[in-house]
A = this chain, B = another copy of it.
């Protein structure tokens, strides 16, 4: 019966003052109770915690954020969550950050043009840092530096501006695929790129194209947009473009590779990999399904997300840290959608 007010008014949550009054101490004492390493007598702490429990008190993180200038929130900006690869990344990042006592403010972009609006909100919410898997203009990158918001790019790099980043090595990955295909004597290559605004898409295509050139193979390149349907569309286009028998298709991601495999079998009556070898990139779940078993490069998502989180936390503690760039090699998944040498 220590309550001085009406039974309970839901609209008003208990504050540290309420707890202080209830426990017969000052507000400072309550605050110290919830900060580890602070000086509070054991008996006092117990009494306060008991009161807190009784009043259902939870420290207001908003108020804490205001006074400490630390929101304990990190922004995650992802351009297309429908990509099949990103949900896994997002889940990993979220769980790792949670484990470190950090909350995730999620921003998902429908169109790349929405970035500026999103950044506006990022500034307003005073997040402690950001992990971005979306394309940022140089000015946008500069804005992070200007405002002192630590930033780690995921599968992107600064392109001119030094930014911390975590990437899967497209070059070595594509080389492994191309080398394998060439070793088993494929002759006519098709490459299906990602959408024009995709950094990894361009990088992978460029790596594959260069390697083919080095090895004296020519190739046709058509544009895809990373989704299933565009695999089929791109394959049709490739077939139309060449009069020779195309025997290998390199796709900028697994989803398109799957689209190509389905289309090759169903629409062109081709046996994969006997008539046509198809390779992808990412190592998403469906790539290993029995119907596909895509030959691909699996990104080490766990290690990459772990690194991204570690790098971000480091930079939150020590903003002066350099713009390190960590490159992780992918792992070749042999699969059975391609004949590799």
Q: Which of A83-120 contact B (CB under 8 A)?
A: 84, 86-88, 90-91, 94-95, 98, 103-108, 110, 118, 120
Q: Which of A273-317 contact B (CB under 8 A)?
A: 285-286, 289-292
Bound state CA distance, A11 and B94, in angstroms? Answer: 26
Partner pick for A95 among B62, B71, B108, B289, CB 8 A cutoff:
B108
Bound state CA distance, A266 and B105, in angstroms? Answer: 43
Chain B residues in 8 Å Cβ range of A5: none
Chain B residues in 8 Å Cβ range of A106: 76, 90, 94, 104-106
Judge whether A285 and B228 touch: CB under 8 Å.
yes
Chain B residues in 8 Å Cβ range of A58: 120, 123-124
| Interface residue SS majority, chain A | helix
Bound state CA distance, A88 and B56, in angstroms? Answer: 36
Judge whether B126 and A60 touch: CB under 8 Å.
yes
Q: What 1/0 mask marks residues of chain A from 195 to 233 whose CB sits below 8 Å from any chain B CB?
A: 000000000000000000000000000000000100000
Chain B residues in 8 Å Cβ range of A146: 10, 56
Residue A258 interfacial (CB < 8 Å): yes
Instruction: Return 17 A-B CB contacts under 8 Å, by A number.
Output: A56-B146, A61-B124, A62-B71, A62-B126, A63-B66, A66-B66, A80-B91, A81-B94, A82-B91, A91-B108, A95-B110, A98-B118, A105-B106, A228-B285, A263-B290, A265-B290, A266-B290
Q: Which positions in A face B, CB cutoff 8 Å?
A: 10-11, 13, 56, 58-63, 65-66, 71, 73, 76, 80-82, 84, 86-88, 90-91, 94-95, 98, 103-108, 110, 118, 120-121, 123-126, 146-148, 228, 258-259, 261-263, 265-266, 285-286, 289-292
